Every structure is written in C-alpha cells, then in structure tokens.
Amino acid sequence: MKQAMLIINPSSGKEQAMDFENETVSILEKNHVDVTVKYTEKEGDAIRFASAACENHFDTVVAMGGDGTINEAVNGLAKEVERPDFGFIPLGTVNDFARALGIPMQPKKALEVLSQQHTKPVDIGKINDRYFMNVLAVGAIAEAVYDVSPEQKSKFGPLAYMIEGARALKDKAPFDLTVTYDGKVWDGEAYLMLVALTNSVGGIEKFAEQAEVNDGYFHVFILKELSLPQVFKIIPDLFSGKLQGNAQVEYFPVANLKVESEQKLVVNIDGDEGVPIPFEAKVLHNELNIFVPEE
C-alpha cells in the first residue's frame, strides 16, 4: 500500500498554498492508496513531519511552501536512513533549488511535474549536523540578506537581496579566510565566499553555470578584491556564468571543505542565518530522489 505525505506551509506564497491543496492531493491519490496532509505552524514542523514519514515507511513526501519549508523538509529526510521520493511545489521568493532542477515557478505547472512521477537522484550538502540544498555564503554581503523584509521580497523578488547586498558595499571590509579542501589549502583575505551546490544562486540561474545537481561537487567562489570599478567588471561575468574566469575571483570545485577565520563570522545557509565559523561541509552524492520534469 503506497503512502504519501503532503506538507503544507499555509502562509507561503502570499497564503496561496491552500489554494492548491486539493489538486495536489488528487494527483497523489492517483499513485497512492493513502495521502496524509500536514500543516506547518512553527519552525521545525516540516523537519518533524518529513522525518516521521521516513520512520513510517511512506513512499512519497511532497512539500509546498517557500525556501525555508523546502529546506526543513530536506533536513527531515536527509537525516534518516530510509528516505521516500521527494517532490515540492515552490512558493518562495527566489526558489533556487527549483530553478536548478527545472521545476516551474508557477504552482500549476509545478504540479504537472509531480503528476509525471519522474524522479532524479540529486546531491545535497551537509554542514556540521545540518543539511542544505543550494548555497553557503560568508561575509558582510551575505549577512545583509537577513535585513530583507517580507515587503521587499514581495515588491522586488530576488532583486531585493541584491539591493541589500549593494548597500553592504559601503561598509565593506575584507576578512581572513582559510579553506582546507580535498587535500589543498586556500589562505588569504576575502570579501565574500559562496559555496554553490547548484547553478542558481540568488535567482541568477547562470551563477555557477558549470554546476550540475548531481555532479558530486561544491563550486566555491571567493571574492578577493572589491571596489566599485571592479564590481562593474564582475557584473557581466556574474550573469553569464563566467565568474570562475574573473581575476578578482578564486574558483575551485570541491567535495569536502573546512572553513576557518580569526574573525567572528556566521555562515548563511540557503538564505538563512546558520552556524558560526569554523565549519565543515561535504557533498552527499545522489542523496535524494526528487520529482523533476521529464527530459
């Protein structure tokens, strides 16, 4: 008897998540005898629901919500030994994970992907004892995204994060950084460090153009220099997926890394405040089977 769990964040997507509940349940009922619906009310609920689905041998888990809800569901699944197939309907501001997987931003079209029942093994990342699916970021510019208000997100979408990041430039200061990775060491000063698991970062789908969702690597970008004239030189490379060739940027692909600094810094995990440095991270190759569009 195939079982599915649908995890819904009722407040996501301008509270439009509830509008698609019945349709999602109907799609799941075509391939499952039993469909359980769970509603999140507070932080951590999606983690508990997804973990319980694993423990109770569910075949499928689908999450409907913003980036935070999807991240929690991934954390609930990844920490368990037995993991069901995972699907999600993106209702967030940026939806980088969905972009990287080719899942449409429109809920109706994303539901069509779910109905196709086509899955693909996908990498996720682990940082200390937490899991993530898209990006780690370190530096004042990365921390500036915490100041993005819900009103800014609604008005500007992904551009809101760039606006706050640009404001952080006026107070820019480099920080010392030591990155130990795959038997090598990078040591120097940096303004920003990004560890990308997918090609899409901050809504820019070509940010790490060379990244694949299951290539077994993080794609590390370290911004070594920063001034307004230099920023204008970086922007074209940023949108064309050519950052790795920019002289101001250090780039390397890694499977494991350890990051240290003498300064008190906190790493941004998938857009949310994470853990303090130092930290260790590794790629979990082909960790989740996720519903994606048929190729």
- Domain locations along the chain: 3-124+287-291, 135-285
Label the pairing between strands 272-276 and 266-269: antiparallel
Say whether domain 135-285 belongs to CATH 3.30.565.10: no
Q: Is the pLDDT of residue 158 over 60?
A: no
Give me the pLDDT at residue 239, please.
Answer: 45
Q: Which of 50, 100, 101, 98 is nearest to 72 (CA)?
A: 50
Q: Is the pLDDT of residue 61 over 70?
A: yes
Q: Which of 191, 164, 117 is nearest to 271 (CA)?
A: 164
Q: What is the pLDDT of residues 82-113, one digit of tens each?
A: 999 999 999 987 788 999 999 999 999 999 99
Give me the pLDDT at residue 209, please.
Answer: 79
- Work out the pLDDT band at 271, boundaries 50, 70, 90: confident
Q: Which CATH architecture has domain 3-124+287-291?
A: 3-Layer(aba) Sandwich (3.40)
Give me the pLDDT at residue 156, please.
Answer: 43
Give me the pLDDT at residue 99, please.
Answer: 92
CA distance 250 to 227: 16
The count of other CB atoms within 10 Å of the CB of residue 258 is: 15
Greatest alpha-carbon pair distance for the chain in Å reads 62
Q: What is the pLDDT of residues 200-215, one digit of tens each?
A: 877 676 777 788 999 9
DSSP assignment of the chain equals --EEEEEE-TTHHHHTGGGGHHHHHHHHHTT-SEEEEEE--STTHHHHHHHHHHHTT-SEEEEEE-HHHHHHHHHHHHTSSS--EEEEEE-SSS-HHHHHHT--SSHHHHHHHHHHT-EEEEEEEEETTEEESSEEEESHHHHGGGG--HHHHHHHTTHHHHHHHHHHGGG---EEEEEEETTEEEEEEESEEEEESSS-BTTBTTTTTT--TTSS-EEEEEE----HHHHHHHHHHHHHT-GGG-TTEEEEEESEEEEE-SS--EEEETTEEEEESSEEEEEEEEEEEEE----
Give the predicted TM-score (pTM) of the model: 0.84
- Work out the pLDDT band at 141, boundaries 50, 70, 90: low
Residues 6+ apart with CB under 8 A from 188: 176, 177, 222, 224, 250
Q: Do domains 3-124+287-291 and 135-285 have the same CATH topology?
A: no
In single-letter form, the type of residue at position 87 comes to: G
CA distance 9 to 23: 16
In single-letter form, the type of residue at position 284 comes to: L
104-128: burial string, b at 16+ Cβ within 10 Å, e else:
beebeebbebbeeeeebebbbbbbe
Residue tagged 């935070």 (tokens)? 68
Token pair listed for 109: 């079209």
- Work out the pLDDT band at 146, boundaries 50, 70, 90: very low
In single-letter form, the type of residue at position 92 comes to: G
Average pLDDT over residues 138-151: 60
CA distance 275 to 137: 11
